Structure 1
Amino acid sequence: MTGTSRDALSAVLPTFGLRVRWDDLELRLPDDVELLALASLAADGVHNPEVAPFSWPWTRGTHEEVKRNVLAHQWKNRGRTAADDWALSLAVFRDGEIVGEQQISAKNFQVTRSGRTGSWLGLRHHGQGIGTRMRLMALHLAFEGLNAAEMISEAYDDNPASNAVSRRLGYTANGWRATVREGQSVIERSYRMTRELWDARPDDLRAEIAIDGASSVRQLFGIDQPRQSTYRENA
């Protein structure tokens, strides 16, 4: 997609104009050509075959099946732009090469200002610190770009990398639950990053991470509208 084409698309669907940049990393919605590259990356491997980090086993199957799962997921989330249910499934680029996906999603964000993150990296890009940096970029977008009050991250007990990132970044433990994954019981842990914890971080990422297009996305998602309240004074 050329710059002119993306600009025209962004005028209709502002999420395509959203960009988060930090040194060699960039988060943005992929166009259809880039989406095929993202799907191919996933088909080449996201995790070791013996582990299962996702509630839905979208990484299982043939190369073609995994690619279709990625395409279906991305196309579905492109259309999730309502104020009460939106998602940003952003491709992660490193020096222009697609290396994974970082998602932010929320329901009833206008009222709760609470969202969730999820992500994956191509297997060959593991162990390079990218996962930590792209989570920081997602949090920066959520708090500085979208005015979040809290962000939640969840990970299974047997996903040490994701759990470690949440702890390293200063999330607080937010409980756990027993859930079902591929027919087996597994513990899922929850972590919470509040606006207060984010603001108290010693590193000042505001000067390092750039966000483009957030204002139009806030309008699309209804974020700039006053929060609704059920409170009523007694007569």
Structure 2
Amino acid sequence: MLIDHFPLVGLRLTTPRLELRLPDAEELAALADTAADGVHDPAYMPFRIRWTELPPAERARSVVLHHWSLLGQWTPRSWKLPFTVFRDGVPVGVQLLKAVDLAVTAECSTASWLGHRHQRQGIGAEMRAAVAHLAFTHLGATELVSSAFTDNAGSLGVSAKLGYAPDGIERHEDQGRLRVIHRLRLTRQAWLERVRPEVTVEGVAPCLQLMGLGGTSEADHPHPSI
């Protein structure tokens, strides 16, 4: 079975309203449809990479290819875990959790997107709280980092709600104009002091070695080449 070779397919996070896990093929197609339906107001760009400007069919395909690409590039030393977020069985977006040398750095970072019609319902905070719980409770992380443009009120609001603190800025050129990104950092202690949604985690133990934790690492093992 696939789970015997890639146990991440059995990793599942459950909150009062959401389920976060890797999708099967048809669920990935439904996630792509969610992206095709729209991710944000076309007048505003919240992402550094402007993938949401693609036509709907190309945008949907990019979601599928990006998902496969992240899993295909996985190593225990450097990984990006693209949880699909489900509400009532429907894919509503993606919550990414990533790390480099997690056993040494004890630091994870996040990124996300949410279908436009699923926004302003508290889902963004709940799905990020789920991966914060995973990182702090099961993966040994002591800090979680995020970032957002200064005018991305939704993302910054989620960070404030969860207890992130300012961590500096970055200045970026975007189509000939300056845009500023706020970096944010959440410590495990600050997270513990907040009221948090209940999160249930299933299937994490078999994944630890793939994440560079809990035993012999395969970080330097090459992928097959044909």
2:52 aligned counterpart, secondary structure = coil
Q: Greater CA deviation, 114-123 or 190-199?
A: 190-199
| Matched ranges for 1:138-149 at <5 A | 138-149=131-142
Residue 119 of structure 2 is matched in structure 1 by 126
| Matched ranges for 1:192-203 at <5 A | 192-201=185-194, 203=195
TM-score by length of 1: 0.88
Structure 1 residues 161-218: Cα deviation after superposition (integer angstroms, max 9, x where no partner): 10111011111111111012344320000110112212222x365xx21001111111
1:193 aligned counterpart, secondary structure = strand
Q: Indicate yes or no: 2:5 matched with 1:15.
A: no
- Structure 1: runs of 5 or more not aligned: 1-7, 227-235
Distance 2:177 2:192 in 1: 39
Distance 1:183 1:216 in 2: 47
The count of residues paired between Structure 1 and Structure 2 equals: 217
Q: Indicate yes or no: 2:203 matched with 1:218.
A: no
1:54 aligned counterpart, secondary structure = coil
Counterparts in 2 of 1:123 and 1:204: CA distance versus 1, 3 Å: closer
Q: 1:97 aligns with which of 80, 87, 90?
A: 90
Counterparts in 2 of 1:80 and 1:212: CA distance versus 1, 3 Å: farther
Percent of pairs with identical residues: 41
Compute the displacement of 1:16 (Å): 0.6
Counterparts in 2 of 1:199 and 1:184: CA distance versus 1, 3 Å: same
Counterparts in 2 of 1:108 and 1:180: CA distance versus 1, 3 Å: farther
Counterparts in 2 of 1:145 and 1:183: CA distance versus 1, 3 Å: farther
| Matched ranges for 1:61-210 at <5 A | 61-201=54-194, 203=195, 205=197, 208-210=198-200
Please tell me whether the aligned partners of residues 81 and 221 of structure 1 are also in contact (alpha carbons under 8 angstroms): no
Counterparts in 2 of 1:13 and 1:183: CA distance versus 1, 3 Å: farther
Q: 1:35 aligns with which of 25, 28, 51?
A: 28
Structure 1 residues 93-134: Cα deviation after superposition (integer angstroms, max 9, x where no partner): 011111111000111212101111011110011111111111
Residue 3 of structure 1 is matched in structure 2 by none
Distance 2:211 2:161 in 1: 30
Distance 1:101 1:191 in 2: 20
What is the one-letter code of the residue matched to 1:214?
V
1:36 aligned counterpart, secondary structure = helix
Please tell me whether the aligned partners of residues 19 and 28 of structure 1 are also in contact (alpha carbons under 8 angstroms): yes
Which stretches of structure 1, 4 residues or more, deviate above 4 A after TM superposition? none
Please tell me whether the aligned partners of residues 25 and 95 of structure 1 are also in contact (alpha carbons under 8 angstroms): yes
Counterparts in 2 of 1:214 and 1:182: CA distance versus 1, 3 Å: farther
